[in-house]
Amino acid sequence: MSDLRAQALEWLAQDPDPDTRAELRAILDAGDERALAERFGTRLEFGTAGLRGELGAGPNRMNRVTVMRAAAGLAARLPRRGRVIIGFDARHGSRRFAADTAAVLGGAGLRPEVFADPVPTPVLAHFVRAHDDIVAGVMVTASHNPPRDNGYKVYWADGAQIVPPLDAEISAAIDAVGRVDELPLAADWPVHDDAGRYLDAVSSLRLGGPARDSGGDLSIVYTPLHGVGRDVLLQAFDRAGFPAPAVVPEQAEPDPDFPTVAFPNPEEPGALDLALALARARGADLVIANDPDADRCAVAVPGDGGWRTLTGDELGCLLAGHVLRHTTGDDRLVVTTIVSSSLLRSIAAAHGVRFAESLTGFKWIMKAGGPEDDGGCGGSSPHRKPGRLVFGYEEAIGYSVGDDRGVLVNDKDGIGAALAVAAMAAQARRDGRTLLDLLDDQAREHGLHATSQLSIRVDDLSLITSAMSRLRADPPVHLGGRAVERFDDLSHGVDGLPPTDGLRFRLSGGSRVVIRPSGTEPKLKCYLEVVLPVEDDIQKVRARAAADLDALRTDLSTILS
């Protein structure tokens, strides 16, 4: 008997799910060694993003055994009798995985509580932070991944996602878990069906947002992309005094199959087509989209050439300016990641506030703005800076907005960002301006910072490793016609940041390229930035920047092919 077959039979004997048992039994009966190798040749790694992967049988898939093992490993790292809140989205398996997590945690002596219905991720993250007696939170979601995927995020007591070395400690505890059919399980636990505390907090953000008398004429189209954001967002808008956005009817209800989009990510081409069509038909001022778990926010606006979707960096820098105009104090801190636009540094300097860069991912953004005490994560981040974090963003349309009290959620918050965007657009409208005008204002003041991406998807992850090794061994001296003035291998730790698998090229004129493997998908991602002074017609400068970005993409495509 092959080792893979023996592993599969052992898995089959403990799996409580009849569907994955049937899947695995069929594979065994067919003698499909390739399918066995895909499922048992490796396993999903538990890291700072928790777990995320395709649904199915085996340790390299998301399933009830994988989830129960993860819950048991988490329980081993938590104080006994600690209170843990569990949320889930509307994806296939999410409700069942949440219940399995509660059963395992309860059986281990903890006090699990589960939301009764699917909730947005920021509601769960805020709930953890808002209750002093909660020691951790679990969110079952794969965010904007394809329909076949699911995932498992862990939040610590501060309401932020875990960082090293805590992830490694939990992973080691997971490895030590025996058969899941031998775990003690709880039979019941308290259930929540209230997002009220989050709604109170988000609707009270003091960012110059209009009450009904000043924002009533702003027409907004909204899509939750078949996710779970709609009901909470509509309640938040109502409490904050905004008129209800028009919701795209074809995408209004949660649907784990995401039938109207090829990929449920508002950044993907075509994802906003239905929202844009409705906006044109209604003559709307703004399109706002959340991803399926509502932790990301995308925005489109009308312009002279038709509707335009703002990039994550454009919206991030607009929101930063808006937050800083409506907050006070020189202890304010704004944070972004090493792959996001360098414009935020200039905006922070102009407002006389503190600025920090972090590694990619909101868990690092929140640690850059956190206290020196790591909240139990075990170890401090050397790049952490003191300050009152009022805004953080990453280019992948993730934003955490705050007011003079600091940020509302210690993670991405697509609903809070949507409210801030609406307030900013309404205020610009009152001033006879648009969001595109505000972008031009920033470019004239700080220079045009144009950003773009190149993503290379692979079937074999070894191709990513070999490409990174080639670049480390023989880095280019020119990219896109610009000299490489500095090359940083981020795996060694640079500028006080923890080591990470990434490469950064600083180019002449302030431009920049960062290359890193994706943390959630089989992709090599390249982040491009071109910086140009605005001394004449801004549209001509934008055209030059677009040409420079194209030149960078061409060179990188050749180098990485």
Residues marked active site are found at: 143
Query: What gap in Å lies between CA 326 and CA 348, rounded to an integer?
Result: 14
- Containing H/E element for 276? helix 273-282
Cα Rg of the chain, angstroms:
23
CB neighbourhood size of 213 (10 A) = 7
- Residues 6 or more apart whose Cβ sits within 8 Å of residue 138: 71, 74, 84, 85, 86, 87, 98, 101, 152, 153, 154, 155
- The neighbouring-strand residues paired with 296 are 398
- Containing H/E element for 503? strand 503-507
Query: What gap in Å lies between CA 356 and CA 335, rounded to an integer?
Result: 5
Query: What gap in Å lies between CA 312 and CA 296, rounded to an integer?
Result: 10
3-state secondary structure of 386: coil
3-state secondary structure of 533: coil
Query: What gap in Å lies between CA 101 and CA 67, rounded to an integer?
Result: 7
Structure tokens at 302: 């009308």
Strand 220-223 relative to strand 246-247: parallel, antiparallel, unpaired? Answer: parallel
Cα angle 375, 295, 101 (rounded to 5 degrees) comes to 60
